[in-house]
Amino acid sequence: MGCFFCWIVVSFQRGIAREIEAQNKWAQRVEMSYFFVLSADDALLRSPSSSRTRTSMRPTLALQVRGGGLGLLMCSHLPRKSVVPAPLSRRAVPIYRPNHSPYYVGLDRVREDPYDRVANPHGVIQLGLSDNKLCLDLIEDWMSKHFESSAIGGGDFAMYQPFDGMPEMKLAMAGFMSKVLGGTLSFDPSNVVLTAGATPAIEILCFCLADHGNAFLVPTPYYPGFDRDMTWRTGVEVIPVHCRSADSFTLSITALDQAFDQAMKKGLKVSGVLISNPSNPVGNLLSRDMLCNLLEFAREKNIHIISDEIFAGSVHGDAEFVSMLEILDLVEYDKGRVHVVYGLSKDLSVAGFRVGAIHSYNEDVLAASKKLTRFSSISSLTQRLLVPMLTDSGFINTFLGTNRDRSRETYKLFVEGLEQLGVNYLDSVAGSYCWVDMGGFMSSYSEKGELELWEKLLEVSKVNATPGSACHCAEPGWFRCCFTTILKDDIPVVMDRINKVAKLCKHAR
Ligand SMILES: Cc1ncc(COP(=O)(O)O)c(C=O)c1O
């Protein structure tokens, strides 16, 4: 017959209750059935065999039978709140901690106080998120006409569907990608894995191509989300490859070589290079030559390439986008090391629908990615809705053409406004942002000077722009300003607000 112990401790101080709680371990060793700690304001009932604290039991009489004994407990007040919080994993700690990057702080400020010309004219103007609102009217119009016929009927789509995408959606997505990434390219849907956005596509690839602690080289300035998306769950490290204003922030193989060597010196194994082409935040394109050189670099170092081409259909300038897949089609190459990421958040302005894709020729990567989409699949309803939209060639051609025209016009108005203020910018041809040099307004040529200016823009003028340091830009003073999040009538308001800060900075000197 086992033994039974019952402890009843009445404490009027939480500290004492906590001390007794620590003895819980001892209680486990002696087969104690239940360990009762009661404090006047905050009582606690805990089973040694479970780390969960019962918080809402309020019996006046508690009876426990375990280990061959019987225990009786009388009390007038039982627990409401645990004294010692149950610990979280070490993995969760850096994630739940608040992120003080100006990128996230700025987004939070807009969320608290969003600008609206009529409803909130003194709110914060959003230039810090690459959302595209320029053609939402076209999406809404299509939806209003086709929603019912696309989404309703044939209820079997409400059942489980392949997590890596329904066959008809893969076909539709392959067709759209072939149009956007390069008209001559044809995509085999069997090389495509669908994901809930480009974000999980990137994460899945990092997971498949690199081990925990391995590194990816990423040319700077880069999209601030990579720091989170590539690393949080995979444990992969990001090594910035610094590009300079003197080269219009274009990538060079010399910079890649240097970053590779530095990573090796730190004892890091480099698993690949991730490029964003068209580049977010600069809005430039990689040339054919550069793409070929990159392939050569990857072959020489025996590493992978992830080419994030999510803005491929958002070229508004006079330049030709060349996909990495087009180069692969032309040259004799080990295709298994090149993986393309795409998504509909930007080119089709449906970021909220969460649609992304991985294109790879590597059978093992495809097999692993398909299984991993279990954690990031697109809802079948969304797929049902998008198949007819993506295959409606009349709509798609109109949308892409209108988006290009409106982006071109808004970009032109935006940079004209900057020119009138005497602010420099880098000519960009793609994406929904402008890479602006506000270094002239800084109190000092340093990251500190840049962040002071960012704060003035945000708090004094209520403009949320992303400072270059959040994109790991090596040179202070550059800001990413998204111009597709505002209406063209709001551009003069933005310029007035930037001008206000410019004057303030001049006075301060
Ligand atoms: C370069 C780049 N890649 C990936 C993403 C993530 O896209 P998604 O909304 O499809 O997850 C973004 C979003 O801004 C981006 O700019």
pLDDT digits (tens, 9 = 90+) for 463-494: 999 999 999 999 999 999 999 999 999 999 99
- List Cα–Cα distances, 254 to 162, 163, 240, 241, 290, in angstroms: 43, 41, 13, 10, 12
Query: 54: which 2 tokens?
Result: 């019962």
Catalytic residue, chosen from 170, 179, 346, 456, is: 346
Q: Residue 280 CA: which ligand 1 atom is closest?
A: 1
Annotated active-site residue 346? The verdict is: yes
Beta bridge partners of 424: 437
Per-residue exposure over 177-193, b if at least 16 CB sit within 10 Å of its own CB, e if not? bbbbbbeebebebebbb
The pLDDT of residue 491 is 97
Q: Residue 198 CA: which ligand 1 atom is closest?
A: 10
Q: Where are the domains of the chain?
A: 6-74, 99-135+402-508, 147-396
The pLDDT of residue 83 is 81
Residue with tokens 């080119």: 347
* Mean pLDDT, all residues of the chain: 86
Does ligand 1 have an atom closer than 6 angstroms to the CB of 230?
no
How far, in Å, CA of 323 to CA of 305, rounded?
13
Annotated active-site residue 103? The verdict is: no
Asked whether the predicted pLDDT for residue 62 surpasses 50, the reply is no
How far, in Å, CA of 167 to CA of 127, rounded?
37
Asked whether the predicted pLDDT for residue 23 surpasses 50, the reply is no
Ligand 1: residue of 177, 199, 279, 341 to mutate (most ligand atoms within 8 A of CB) is 199
313: number of Cβ within 10 Å:
24
Annotated active-site residue 361? The verdict is: no
Expressed in angstroms and rounded, the spacing between residue 314 Cα and the centre of ligand 1 is 13
Does ligand 1 have an atom closer than 6 angstroms to the CB of 195?
no
The pLDDT of residue 81 is 62
Does ligand 1 have an atom closer than 6 angstroms to the CB of 224?
no
Which helix (H) or strand (E) segment is 359 a member of?
Answer: strand 356-360
In the sheet that 6-11 helps form, which strands lie side by side, from edge to edge? 6-11, 34-39, 44-46, 53-54
Which residues are CB-neighbours of 485 under 8 A, at least 6 positions away?
Answer: 126, 127, 129, 130, 131, 132, 133, 432
Domain 147-396 has CATH 3.40.640.10: yes
DSSP 441: G
Residue 469 Cα to chain centre, angstroms: 17
Q: Residue 201 CA: which ligand 1 atom is closest?
A: 11
Asked whether the predicted pLDDT for residue 19 surpasses 60, the reply is no
DSSP 217: E
The pLDDT of residue 80 is 62
Query: Contact, 171 vs 162, CB < 8 A?
Result: no
Does ligand 1 have an atom closer than 6 angstroms to the CB of 303?
no
How far, in Å, CA of 424 to CA of 439, rounded?
9
Asked whether the predicted pLDDT for residue 61 surpasses 90, the reply is no
Superfamily name and number for 99-135+402-508: Aspartate Aminotransferase, domain 1 (3.90.1150.10)
> What does the pLDDT look like over 185-243, one tens digit per residue?
888 999 999 999 999 999 999 999 999 999 999 999 999 999 999 999 999 999 999 99
Residue with tokens 């690949």: 272
Q: What is the pTM of this model?
A: 0.84
Nearest CA to ligand 1 atom 14: 130
Annotated active-site residue 223? The verdict is: yes
Query: 107: which 2 tokens?
Result: 């987004």
> What does the pLDDT look like over 310-363, one tens digit per residue?
999 999 999 999 999 999 988 888 999 999 999 999 999 999 999 999 999 999
DSSP-derived 3-state class of residue 445: coil
